[in-house]
Each structure stands twice: as C-alpha cells, then as structure tokens.
Amino acid sequence: MRFGRRARYLAILLVLLIGVGGSVVWAQYRNNYRRAAAQGFKPELPADRHGTPDWEVDPHFKSDVFTFCRIRYTSVYRGSTWITDFPDSDLNFSFRLQQMTSLKVNPHPIILDLTDERLFDYPFIYMLEVANLEFSEEEIVALRRYLLNGGFLMVDDFWGVPAWQNFEREMKRVFPDRESVDLPIEHPIFHAVFDLKQKPQIPGIDTAREVRAAGHPEISYERVDAKESHYRAFFDDKGRMMAIICQNTDLGDGWEREGEEEWYFHQYSEKQAYPMGINIIFYAMTH
C-alpha cells in the first residue's frame, strides 16, 4: 500500500477549532448528477464548484494532501444511489476540513471504483446509501485487499433494519469471519477532536423540515425502525479499525444541505455532521 504519506498527515493534523461561520446555497444541480450517473456516465466536479470556496495546494506537496474519495459501487437495481449528495457534500466537507483544521486538503474530491488501482493512493474512502448494495466478486476482492492493507472505509446514510441486514450480508462476503462491533459513546472516535456527548443522528433535510413543521423538532430519525443511531466498526487482527458504518443517520446531508436552512445548519451541520466527520477523519488518519 502506498500509504507512506500517513506520517505526514500526523504531523499536520494539529486541529485548530474555529467556528463554522456563514452558509452558502449550492445544491441546485444534484439531480443532474443523479441522472448522469443513472445513464452510465461518471460525473465530474462542476467548474463553478456550486459556490464552495476554492484554495491553492502547495505545488511541492500535491501528493501530500487529504483527498475525499467517494466510491462508485454496484447496486441491486443498477441505480445511482452511490452518487447521493454529490458534489455538494464532498465539496463542502473538504472545504470545512480545510477551514477548521490544519490538515492540508485537496479542494477537488474524486470518485473511484473499488477495482481501480488508484484506490491504493487514498487511505480514506466513502460510501453511502447501501440499502441495495450488491458487490461484484471483483469489488469484494478489491475492498478486502484495500482494508487489510491499511485503508479505511466510512459508510453513511442508510436507515432501518432491512438496509442493515443487506449491508451486513454484503460485508459477510468481504469478511466471512469478522463481525462488526457497535461502538459505545466512550470510544475515542467520538472524542478525537470534538467531544461529543451522544452519537450524532442527522436526518435528511426534508425529514427535518417535516417534523419541524409538525411541531416535533426533537425527532431526528427517518424510520420507526431506525430511532437509534449506530456507529459500527470492523477491526483487523491487530485491532485497527478498518471501517466505520454510520447507520440510522445521514452525515452527508448535513454537509450537502448546510446552506439551505439556517436552523438546519446550526442544529445538525454545525453541531453534529461536521464534528463527527472530522472526528472520523482524525481518528482514521492517526490510527
């Protein structure tokens, strides 16, 4: 694995906690990307970045920056769920990671297939909406190889028992002899940078709007069988966390939709989605 740069990440990952200020609306084109993906195209980042600030990377260290890497995977219905929230989620999170920490971040997140050999240049990968996930045999081999050789996987945004059962079944194909562990709130990943008092549960913004309008803003779950958020992990033989599975929560919507409602930004993006995401990155890159 070409993960030698991990040591450099450790040196620059001294976190500067500054307030998350302001918000920008840049989600208007997300459906275009879904349609493009459904037609078999691999979407590229928009030239205008949907309003997300850009920044320069030191030309001498272009390969020594953290890059948010989204995985394009196979689905039962051959749909485009893998591209949910793209590109705004990836752009916004990369920006906030650059803004809120001293980690050097690539302003241009990427999309890769699990079978792409370039995967081994990126120590962190992201997947979401895995309720209908169905790995190909090639993807199973590639993901197992990636994780056992030092890579880290974050899975996000899926709700309810059937969705978990499907994902658990697919991970059994990757690791037949390994079980996931439901992490307690005392685990260091919840306190790596931000000291979280409870496991974040972020509803999609549409659900949040509905329950707020109905006078129940305290409701943060999207299904009756998903009232409790779970953060499950897979570990290798040495106890290193290889993957974190964020179930019954939608951190990606907290990143993507931060600019659409000020109350949503303050309640979910600022207090939960970004802190948990940053904690995961910090923990993954320092362990």
Pick the CATH number of 6-19+32-286 from 3.30.110.30, 3.90.1570.10, 3.20.20.70, 3.40.50.12140: 3.40.50.12140
Q: Which two tokens stand for residue 72?
A: 């394009």
Q: Which two tokens stand for residue 168?
A: 């658990």
Residue carrying structure tokens 């919840």: 190
In 144-158, which positions are buried (b, 16+ CB within 10 angstroms) versus exposed (e)? bebbeeebbbbbbbb
Query: What does the pLDDT look like over 164-190, one tens digit per residue?
Result: 999 999 999 999 999 999 999 999 999
Query: What does the pLDDT look like over 82-126, one tens digit per residue?
Result: 999 999 999 999 999 999 998 999 999 999 999 999 999 999 999
Please tell me whether the overall predicted TM-score, pTM, comes out greater than 0.75 for this model. Answer: yes
Rounded alpha-carbon distances, angstroms, from residue 87 to 71, 106, 153, 173, 180: 13, 14, 19, 30, 29
- Does residue 44 contact residue 70 with C-beta atoms inside 8 Å? no
Give residue limits of the domains in the chain.
6-19+32-286
Closest CA to 175 of 133, 236, 120: 236
Query: What does the pLDDT look like over 2-44, one tens digit per residue?
Result: 555 554 444 444 333 333 333 333 333 444 444 444 545 455 5
